[in-house]
Structure formats: structure tokens, C-alpha cells
Amino acid sequence: WWGSVFLINLPIMALLLILGPRLLPESKDPHPGPFDILSAVMLTAAVLALVFGIKEVGKHGWDTASVAMLLGGALVATLFAVRQRRLRHPLIDITLFRSLPFTVAVFANIAGVFAMTGVLYFLPQYVQIVLGYSPLEAGLWALPLAVGAVLGALTVPAIARRLPVGWVIG
């Protein structure tokens, strides 16, 4: 069965589930506000409508149903943002986006995730279909990206602490 390749993750996850609570410090708010179910439903509806709308545009083009789904998702997302600004304990603190460095960092992270996801999705296909390599060879082509991401995640925080904040964020 081809899916058994993912079974390697089971012992790793079991180890993390055992060691994680012991090694990772607790970081939750000691006095959280009440959970806002309506906000959670609105956010879920907005994301689902937008994703479904984008998928339908790709499948059927800009037909009435696709555009209606996108506009509906955008409307619910807007109503969600307005609601978050009015709540005492918002699900997402929208006021954080008043800070330009925060906003730039968030959107830079989103752009990086989109770019990396695109590369990791299309690189193996390109290497197999266009260059004619085997699936194993295509996976090895992607290995430097994965190693670079892991090394970056391990080293960048230490480097960032030694640099001025403006360099790191801006």
C-alpha cells in the first residue's frame, strides 16, 4: 500500500505528544475572554466561500455562481472584520493591523508561504513530466528546499535577535 510511506510519522508524533507538554512552556492567556461562536462561524463561512469561489472560477470560469460565492465570502469577511473591531474580546485582534511593521510581516509571510507551496507543488511535476526524471529523483530535487527551510527556521531566530528590529521587519 503506497500510503504506508506516511506511517513513519506515527512514532515521531507519539514522541512529540509525550515530550511536548513537558518541554514546551505554556503560553495561553491566563484570563481568556469568552469564545465567540458567531465570529468563528463567520470566519469559517468567509474562508469556505472564498476558497470554493476560487475553485469554481478555475473550473467553470467567471460564471454567476462563482462570482456570487466570491462576493458573498468577501461580504462575510468584511462583516467579520467589523464585528471584531466592536468586540471586547475579539477572535482576531484587527487593531494589530494598524501597525505597519506587523502588517508587512504578515503579508510577507503569506507571500512566502504561497511561493513555497507553489514551488513544492509544481517542481516535482516539472522534474518528472518535462525533464523525465523518476518520482524518487524528483523528490531529491526538492530536498534542498526542505533542508534550507529547516535550517532557516533553526538559525534565523538567533540571527534576528542580534540585528536591529528595522532590519528584521523592514
**How far, in Å, CA of 61 to CA of 66, rounded?**
8
pLDDT, one tens digit per residue, over 18-68 is 998 888 888 777 788 889 999 999 999 999 999 999 999 999 999 999 999
- Give the type of residue at 5: V
Q: Of 106, 112, 124, 98, which is closest to residue 153 (Cα–Cα)?
A: 112
**How far, in Å, CA of 81 to CA of 69, rounded?**
18
User: What pLDDT is stored for residue 49 in this prediction?
Assistant: 98
What are the C-alpha distances in Å from 114 to residues 111, 121, 152? 5, 10, 17
With contact defined as beta carbons under 8 Å apart, do 84 and 92 qualify? yes
pLDDT, one tens digit per residue, over 98-148 is 998 889 889 999 998 999 888 888 999 999 999 999 999 998 988 998 899
User: What pLDDT is stored for residue 107 in this prediction?
Assistant: 93
User: What pLDDT is stored for residue 170 in this prediction?
Assistant: 60
Cβ-in-10-Å burial (0-12, 13-18, 19+) of 52 comes to: middle
Confidence of residue 168 (pLDDT cuts 50, 70, 90): confident
Confidence of residue 169 (pLDDT cuts 50, 70, 90): low
With contact defined as beta carbons under 8 Å apart, do 66 and 56 qualify? yes
